Chains A and B, each alone.
Chain A
Amino acid sequence: MKPASRAFKTNATRALENEPLQRALRGIKYGFVANRAKARASLPEFDRLRDEARAIKEHTLAHLDLYLEEYESKVIEAGGQVHWAASADDAREAILKICRDAGARSVTKGKSMVGEEIAINEHLEAAGIKAIETDLGEYLIQIRGEPPSHIIAPAIHLTMDQVEADFRNIHKNLPPERILDEPGQLVAEARAVLRDGFLAADVGITGANLLIAETGSSVIVTNEGNGDLTQCLPRVHIVIASIEKAVPTLEDANTILRILARSATGQECSTYTTYSTGPKRPGDPDGPEEFHVVLLDNGRTEMLGGAFHDMLRCIRCGACMNHCPVYGAVGGHAYGWVYPGPMGAVLTPSLIGIDEAGHLPNASTFCGRCEAVCPMRIPLPKLMRHWRMREYEKGNTPARYRWGLKLWAFAARRPWLYHALTGLGASLLARFGKRRGRIRSLPMAGGWTRHRDLPAPQGKTFQQLWRAQEKAS
Chain B
Amino acid sequence: MAKSKTPETKPNVGLFVTCLVDLVRPSIGFASVKLLEQAGCRVSVPRAQTCCGQPAYNSGDRPDARALALKTISAFEAYDYVVAPSGSCAGMLKHHYPELLGDDPGTAERARAFADKVHELISFLVDVRGVTRVKARYDGAVTYHDACAGLRELGVKAQPRQLLESVEGLKLLEMEDAEVCCGFGGTFSVKYPAISNAIVEKKTANIAASNAPCLLAGDLGCLMNMAGKLSREGRDIEVRHVAEVLAGMSGDPAIGEKQS
Contact = CB atoms under 8 A, between A and B. Distances in A.
A and B touch in the complex (CB under 8 A): yes
Given A362-B191, A366-B58, A367-B181, A413 B67 contact: yes
A329 B179 CA distance: 16
A457 B24 contact: yes
A109 to B, nearest CB: 33
B61 interface: yes
Interface string B220-260: 00001101110110000001000000000000110111110
Interface residues of A, number: 72
A185 interface: no
Contacts of A382: 99
A405 B64 contact: yes
A299 to B, nearest CB: 21
A163 to B, nearest CB: 25
A368 B228 contact: no
B152 A16 contact: no
Contact of A450 (B49, B50, B68, B193): B193
Nearest to B33: A466
Contact of B181 (A365, A457, A463, A467): A365
Contacts of B196: 365, 451
A435 interface: yes
Contact of A365 (B19, B153, B188): B188
Given A405-B56, A457-B24, A461-B26, A368 B50 contact: no
Interface stretch (A186-194, A258-266, A422-430): A422-430
Nearest to B224: A455
Interface in B108-127: none
Interface stretch (B76-84, B132-140, B197-205, B210-218): B197-205
A272 interface: no
Interface in B163-204: 177, 179-181, 183-186, 188-200
Q: Which of A397, A415, A451 has the most CB of B within 10 A?
A: A451
Given A422-B19, A453-B228, A465 B48 contact: no
A168 interface: no
B21 A325 contact: no
A367 B60 contact: no
Contacts of A461: 22-23, 26
Given A325-B180, A409-B64, A438-B256, A426 B23 contact: yes
Nearest to A470: B45
A366 B181 CA distance: 9
A137 interface: no
Interface stretch (A93-101, A114-122, A384-392): A384-392
Nearest to A365: B185
B129 interface: no
The bracket for how many chain B residues form the interface is 35 or more
Instruction: Label chain B's interface by main secondary structure.
Output: helix
A382 B99 CA distance: 10
Contacts of B55: 405, 408
Contacts of B48: 415
Contacts of A40: none
A325 B61 contact: no
Interface in A372-404: 372, 382, 385, 387-393, 397, 401
A435 B258 contact: yes
B53 interface: yes
A12 B183 CA distance: 15
Interface string A427-463: 0001000111110100001111011111111111111
B120 to A, nearest CB: 15
A346 to B, nearest CB: 14
A409 to B, nearest CB: 4
Nearest to B20: A457
Contact of B195 (A363, A446, A448, A457): A363
A447 B180 CA distance: 22
A325 B59 contact: no
B224 A388 contact: no
Contacts of B10: none
A16 B195 contact: yes
A56 B58 CA distance: 31
Given A408-B55, A422-B19, A434-B259, A458 B189 contact: no
Interface string A194-236: 0000000000000000000000000000000000000000000
Contacts of B153: 368
A392 B59 contact: yes
B232 A393 contact: no
A325 B60 CA distance: 22
Interface of A: 9, 12-13, 16, 29, 325-326, 328-330, 362-369, 371-372, 382, 385, 387-393, 397, 401, 405-406, 408-409, 411-413, 415, 418-419, 422, 425-426, 430, 434-438, 440, 445-448, 450-463, 465-467
10 contacts: A12-B192, A325-B183, A362-B191, A362-B192, A452-B197, A453-B227, A453-B232, A455-B256, A457-B25, A462-B22
Given A413-B50, A458-B252, 6 more contacts: A367-B152, A387-B60, A389-B62, A412-B51, A463-B47, A465-B29
